[in-house]
Amino acid sequence: MSDLPRKAVTRTVKLAALPLGFAGRTALGLGKRIGGRPAEMIAAELQQRTAEQLFSTLGQLKGGAMKLGQALSVFESALPEQIAGPYRAALTKLQEAAPPMPVASVHAALTERLGEDWRELFEEFEDKPAAAASIGQVHRAVWHDGREVAVKVQYPGAGDALLSDLTQLGRFVKLLGPLVPGMDLKPLISELRDRVSEELDYELEARAQSAHAREFAGDPDVTVPDVVHHGDQVLVTEWLDGVPLSEVIADGSQEMRDRAGQLLARFLFSGAARTGLLHADPHPGNFRLLTGDAPDGPPEKWRLGVLDFGTVDRLPRGLPVEIGTALRLTLDGQADAVHELLRDEGFVKPEIELDPGAVLDYLLPIIEPAQVEEFTFTRDWLRAQATRIADPRSPAYQLARQLNLPPAYLLIHRVTMSTIGVLCQLGATVRLRDEMEAWVPGFTIDERSQGTSA
């Protein structure tokens, strides 16, 4: 019934072909090198072909494969330009669309989940989907009270497909590593698996979206559509018009890029503080730039529309105060205090001995955007950070291998890094420090004792 390949064996065969293709290209590359072609040229060619096959396959399969593709797509800024350039368009497509479910499947799903008279709930319903992603697709409609709405319908069998895909991808995760330098994909895939049940539960998503909609109602900077109706595997929310962030990335003006970047950073930090929830799926397909009746300005009137609350991190006290404290101490150059805090929080295991000065040297380049009044996020900057951490010859690589990421910080880390990836795709100039001073506990004063005793 679903447009997801119906047989698990079909999905498994497609995914299993990926490592076989990688291995075949590697062997071909060895032959070319023996034949005299430069190693660097061969490596670049192999990486490009591997990436093209990977993202093509992930996009076709949806499910967990599509979910991983979307998660990886925000990191394309870290790749060398000669590799990233040829398939950047494919990554953008992953962020916004996937092959749709057949119309008959959509109608059958709505009948099963909303009842035989489901059409009476709508004045209009467009059969052609407006968007499609990893576990469901969205249809534009008019609710029976006249409101324009988005109807998200979950793919039948999406849960099984998610788990199966991520299990299969986990088996050859090491082969995917070179596609995103400096990032360990194994915990990313594990974390995606852990979130499957939450993302499939539209009741949880409705609660998270409603909480954000209430908190940001009337906000001058951020808009979250209200939830209109929700049921088993169907979610109806108010429709949100705007410029998809992927379009801003592709050909938006610098004013649009800067405003979108500032608002994205503001939402990242303020959302957790204001709602106790962290929106944990920050790929461009989930954001809109709302320019209203003034697309040519002034930019300060433009707002950020936020969609898809299927994955959230529950942070009742907002971001942990230890994060802000560690960042402030790092910027102040207090190496010993930073080292002690990281050890207390489990980033440095008891049996590991590290030089506090080396830890500071490792962290400072990463938090450079918070050191200055405003920072321009670029692909070159992110690429340099990724290369520094991924190069086995660099001190940063050696130190990173000795650090530990505690489970409580895993999702926060992924969301932060993903958001930085999007900011670099935008090429936005952002006053990041302003947002951190306003919203990150511990960044401006030492609130650590308050946070741990509350």
**Beta carbons of 268 and 419 less than 8 angstroms apart:** yes
CA dihedral 46, 51, 52, 58 (to 10 degrees): 150
pLDDT of residue 190: 73
Instruction: With a cut of 90, say whether residue 174 has pLDDT above it.
Output: no
CA 145-221-72 angle, to 5 degrees, is 90
Domain boundaries, the chain: 8-96+160-182, 103-158+197-238, 321-453
Q: How far apart are CA 241 and CA 248, in angstroms?
A: 14
**Beta carbons of 66 and 58 less than 8 angstroms apart:** yes
Place of tokens 């105060």: 321
Q: Which helix (H) or strand (E) holds 197?
A: helix 196-200
Q: Which two tokens stand for residue 59?
A: 């996009």
Supply the pTM of this predicted model: 0.78
61-70, 112-121, 162-171, 330-339: the lowest-pLDDT one: 61-70
Instruction: With a cut of 60, say whether residue 114 has pLDDT above it.
Output: yes
| pLDDT tier for residue 188 given thresholds of 50, 70 and 90 | low
pLDDT of residue 288: 97
Q: How far apart are CA 171 and CA 43, in angstroms?
A: 23
Q: How far apart are CA 392 and CA 177, in angstroms?
A: 14
- DSSP string across 302-314: -EEEE---SSEEE
Candidates 312, 323, 316, 313; CA nearest to 347 is: 323
Place of tokens 């967990």: 64
**Beta carbons of 109 and 153 less than 8 angstroms apart:** yes
**Beta carbons of 451 and 317 less than 8 angstroms apart:** yes
- Count of residues for the chain? 454
Q: How far apart are CA 274 and CA 306, in angstroms?
A: 15
How confident is the model over 441-452, as pLDDT tens digits?
Answer: 999 964 444 444
Which of 101-110, 124-133, 433-442: highest mean pLDDT? Answer: 433-442
pLDDT of residue 36: 41
Q: How far apart are CA 206 and CA 227, in angstroms?
A: 6
How confident is the model over 8-19, as pLDDT tens digits?
Answer: 445 555 555 554
pLDDT of residue 157: 76
Average pLDDT, the chain: 80
Instruction: With a cut of 90, say whether residue 171 has pLDDT above it.
Output: no
**Residue 336 CB coordination number (10 Å):** 12
pLDDT of residue 20: 44
Candidates 213, 132, 143, 165; CA nearest to 15 is: 165
**Beta carbons of 87 and 52 less than 8 angstroms apart:** yes
**Beta carbons of 422 and 377 less than 8 angstroms apart:** no
Q: How far apart are CA 316 and CA 273, in angstroms?
A: 8
Q: Which residues pair with 131 in a beta bridge?
A: 138
Up-side HSE of residue 104: CA atoms within 13 Å toward CB? 1
Q: Domain 103-158+197-238 class?
A: alpha beta
Report the Cα–Cα distance between both ends of the chain, in Å, rounded: 51
Candidates 53, 46, 110; CA nearest to 80 is: 46
Q: Which two tokens stand for residue 254?
A: 């610098």
Query: By percentage, how much of the chain surpasses pLDDT 90?
Result: 50
| pLDDT tier for residue 357 given thresholds of 50, 70 and 90 | very high
Q: For residue 219, indicate whether it is catalytic.
A: no
3-state secondary structure of 110: helix
**Beta carbons of 432 and 370 less than 8 angstroms apart:** yes
Residues 236-257, mean pLDDT to the nearest whole number: 94
Please name the amino acid found at residue 173.
Answer: V
**Beta carbons of 24 and 176 less than 8 angstroms apart:** no
- List, in order, residues 6 or more apart from 299 with CB less than 8 Å away: 255, 256, 258, 259
In terms of DSSP bridges, do strands 222-223 and 303-306 run parallel, antiparallel, or are they unpaired? parallel
Q: Which two tokens stand for residue 181?
A: 């330098």
Of residues 281, 296, 391, 434, which has the active-site annotation?
A: 281
Candidates 313, 384, 347, 333; CA nearest to 80 is: 384
* Share in percent of the chain as helix, strand, coil (round to 5): 60, 10, 30
3-state secondary structure of 409: helix
CA dihedral 271, 277, 278, 281 (to 10 degrees): -110
**Residue 433 CB coordination number (10 Å):** 18
pLDDT of residue 44: 47
Q: How far apart are CA 63 and CA 47, in angstroms?
A: 24
